[in-house]
Amino acid sequence: MGFDEFKELKPIAAALFSVIVPEFWDIDHYYRQGNIIVNATSLNSRLIAGHMIRNSKTSFGWLAIVIHWLIALTVVGQFVLGLYMVSLNYYHPNYQILPYYHKSIGILFAMLLLFRIFWSLINKRPGSVPGVRVWEHWASVIVQWAMNLLLVVVVCMGYLISTATGDSISVFDWFEVPATITSIDHQEDWAGEMHYWFALSVMILAGLHGLAALKHHFLDKDQTLNRMIGGV
C-alpha cells in the first residue's frame, strides 16, 4: 500500500500511532514535512472538535486541559472535605463515611496525578504566550512542578496515615490498596502532620497560581488563561 493510500484508508491507525510512538509526537513538525502523521493530526482535530489530544508548541492539548481542571477541583474539594471531616465528633452521622470518601478519592487522585506527571514529561510544554516576561515564565514552571511534587508527598502521607495500623484502603469497594509500611514510630501522627502542612502549602501555591492566571487574563489581557480553558 502506498503512502497516500495509507493516509486515506488508515486514519485511525495513524492517529493512534501519533499518540503511542514517541518519534511522531512532534506533530507540527511532521505536519510541515508532509509526513503521514499529517493525516493523524487532521483526524484528531476533527474527532475532538478542533483540539488535539497532545500539546502543541503554542497550546495545551485537551487531555492536559481536562486533567488540569479535574485535579484543581479535586485538590480544593479534598482539602475542604479533609478539614471538615476531622472537625466532626464520633457521634456525627458522617463521621465514618467521609474519611471513606476522602481516602477513595485520594487513591484515584494519586493515579490521575501520576498519569498527569507522566503526560507532562512526554508532552512538550507549550511556550509562554507573547508578552509574558522571562521571570514569569520560569516562576510558573517552578510553581507548577512544586505543586506536582507537593501533591505526591500529600498523597503518600495520606496513604501512610490510613495504612499505619495495617488496614488496607478500600476504594469505593471497587478494589483494595494494601498496607505496606506500618512499622515507623508514631507513623500516624507525623504522617498526619506532614499531610496537613503539605496540603496547606499546595493550597497557598495554587492560590498564587490562580491569581497569576487571573492577572494575565484581566490586567495583561493575554491568552494564558484562555489556552488553559481550550479557547486557543
User: For binding to ligand HEM (CB under 6 A), which residues are involved?
Assistant: 64, 68, 71-72, 75-76, 120, 140, 144, 147-148, 206, 209-210, 213-214, 224-225, 228
Work out how close the CB of 18 gets to ligand HEM at its nearest, in angstroms, rounded to a whole number: 20
CB 1 within 8 A of CB 9: yes
Assigned C-alpha cell, 72: 484543581
Our CB check for ligand HEM shows the closer of 75 and 157 to be 75
Output 123 or 187, the one with its CB closest to ligand HEM: 123
Write 25-31 long-range contacts (CB < 8 A, 24+).
25/54, 25/122, 25/123, 25/124, 26/124, 27/52, 27/54, 27/56, 28/56, 28/57
Least Å distance, CB 100 to ligand HEM, is 23
Q: CB nearer to ligand HEM: give 36 or 82.
A: 82
Residues whose CB falls within 8 Å of the CB of residue 94, separated by 6 or more in sequence, listed in order? 85, 88
What is the smallest separation between the CB atom of 223 and ligand HEM, expressed in angstroms? Answer: 9
Closest alpha carbon to 73 in 45, 109, 127 = 109
**Choice between 88 and 153, CB closer to ligand HEM:** 153
As measured in angstroms, the least distance from the Cβ of 64 to ligand HEM is 5
Q: Give Cβ neighbours of residue 178 (< 8 Å, ≥ 6 apart).
A: 163, 168
Q: How far is the CB of 108 from ligand HEM (least distance, A)?
A: 16
Cβ nearer to ligand HEM, comparing 14 with 71: 71
Nearest distance from residue 140's CB to ligand HEM, in Å? 4
- By beta-carbon proximity to ligand HEM, the closer residue of 179 and 213 is 213
The CA distance from 126 to 226, in Å, is 13
Within 10 Å of residue 153's Cβ, how many Cβ atoms? 16
